[in-house]
Each structure stands twice: as structure tokens, then as C-alpha cells.
Structure 1
Amino acid sequence: MDRRSSRCSLPGYPRPGVLTCLLIMAAFFLTYPILRTLSLKLHSAFTGTHISSTYSIVFVNCPNEQIARDMARAVLDKKLATSVNILPKTASLYFWNGEIEESTENLLLIKTKTSKVHTLSDYIRLVHPFEIPEVFSLTMDQGDERYLKWLEEGLAKD
């Protein structure tokens, strides 16, 4: 028996192949998000505290108040958020097609779970009138525990 093969296996067990190692690594990486989510939920349930990055605020600009209200209602109806603030008449300056543009828009502040941000962003891109809607999020690092519990309850499945 050569020395290299004896280093990689335990006595009495066959030497694992490269494919086996790759499958184990793939299984770990595929289940990691699920395991992390479960551990965060367990921690929150046992300690009653908020875990940083569990909730996010999503920012979306809309061309007018009616579109902003329609979008806010749709997001709430689909249980993609618990709360949406509409900030009126936000002045926006930006580059578009090589030119500086200026417009008045309404800003949505959408409060949701971080795990729903991707689905929420996909939905907004689907219904938003802009070719490239402004959609970005920031995670909440701190917050009133009662408010965060209310956010959680508002996003619970029916």
C-alpha cells in the first residue's frame, strides 16, 4: 500500500472518492441557508430577541402618488411586506441615457423580512412602470422588539 492512500482513509473504511467529497460539500452549501434560517428562528424563539439582518427596509421610487399607493397596496395584499410608507415629492436627479435628468417622485419605504426581499424585488420589477426601477434594501440592525414582532406577525402565512 502506498503512503498517500493510507493518509486519506480511516482504518477499516474505504477511501472516499473525489465525487463523494464533492457531493458532501454540495449538500452542505445547498442546505446552509435553510440551516441558518432555522437556527436564527430558534434563537429568536428561545431568547425573544431580534437577530440583526432578519428584517429589511426596501426603497422604491415611483413616478407619482397613485402608482405609489397602488404598488404599496399590492405589496401588502401579497404579504410581501407588513408596512409601507409613502414619502411625497422626492426630488430626484440622475443620469439617464448620458444626460442628467430631474424629476419629482414618491419614495416607498417597504418594511419586510430580509428573506422576502428577492421575491419583493422581482414583483416590483414586474409591475413598475420604469424600465429600470430603483429597488434596493438595507437591513435593520436595531429596532423595538414589539415593532419587530408586529412585523413578523404581519408577514405570517394565512
Structure 2
Amino acid sequence: MDRPGNRCPLPGYPRPSVLLCLLILTASFLTYPMLRTLSLQLHSAVTGSYVSGTYSIVLVNCPNEQIAREIARAILDKKLAASVNILPKASSLYFWNGEIEEATEILLAGAYF
């Protein structure tokens, strides 16, 4: 009786070596996190739904602390974020009407899960 491990390979094809099998197995383990992340992002984009295990961090500059607090409370009231941090005095440089402008702003940092 012929056991599966003793069957001869097809003509012209060598029997896979243990090293080749280990190489394929290692490559599978190394690429799994990347493939999982890509599949979760694709599912979320196609369905428009939240997928457990995905997260985002959003940074928003506000003109003053009062507006930053109002935005933070509104985000938390609607349970759109797990937490919102208000960081004082962020210096921003940006283009406006073709000129470089500078402003001191309040930075909101939110972790969205």
C-alpha cells in the first residue's frame, strides 16, 4: 500500500525540500499582519462599517481653548472617540493667499477606535 508521504513526485518536478517548506511557512507568518490589515481596510472601505482592530488618530488645530473644549465634548458626547487631548500652544506655519503665515493655536488630539 502506498502512503501519501512515499508517493513519487510528478515527472519533471522535484520533491519539495524541508527547507522550501520552512521558507514558505516563514513567509506566510511574516506577511500575515500586513495582509490582515489590508483586508480589514478593504472591508471597512467597501461596507462603510467599523471593523474591530482598526483605529485612527486625528489632529485638529483650533483658534482657542474654548472652541477646542466644545469640539472635544461634542466628539465624546457622540462617542466618536475614546479620548481627546487638548494640547496648549501649538505653533503653526502655513501658506495663506500665497504668503507664509504664523499662528499660535490649540491642538486637539483624538484617538478613534
Please give the TM-score of this superposition, normalised by the length of structure 1. Answer: 0.40
In the alignment, is residue 33 of structure 1 matched against residue 43 of structure 2?
Answer: yes
What displacement does 1:86 show?
Answer: 0.4
**Gap regions ≥5 residues in structure 1:** 1-31, 42-50, 114-158
Residue 96 of structure 1 corresponds to which residue in structure 2?
A: 96
3-state SS of paired residue (1:81) = coil
Residues 34-49 of structure 1 aligned to structure 2 (within 5 Å): 41=52
CA distance in 2, matches of 1:106, 1:72: 12
CA distance in 2, matches of 1:94, 1:86: 21
Structure 1: 4+ residue segments shifted above 4 A: 34-38
**Gap regions ≥5 residues in structure 2:** 1-41
CA distance in 1, matches of 2:57, 2:83: 10
Residues 1-158 of structure 1 aligned to structure 2 (within 5 Å): 33=43, 41=52, 51=53, 54-113=54-113
Aligned residues: 70
Q: Percent of aligned pairs with the same residue?
A: 66
CA distance in 2, matches of 1:59, 1:106: 10
CA distance in 1, matches of 2:48, 2:92: 37
CA distance in 2, matches of 1:71, 1:36: 28
Higher helix share: 1
- Aligned CA RMSD, in angstroms, stands at 2.4
Q: Which has the larger radius of gyration?
A: 2
What displacement does 1:36 show?
Answer: 8.6
Higher strand share: 2
Describe the superposition over 1:2-54 as per-residue Cα deviations: whole angstroms up to 9, x where unpaired.
xxxxxxxxxxxxxxxxxxxxxxxxxxxxxx6269999x64xxxxxxxxx4xx1
Please give the TM-score of this superposition, normalised by the length of structure 2. Answer: 0.54
CA distance in 1, matches of 2:47, 2:109: 27
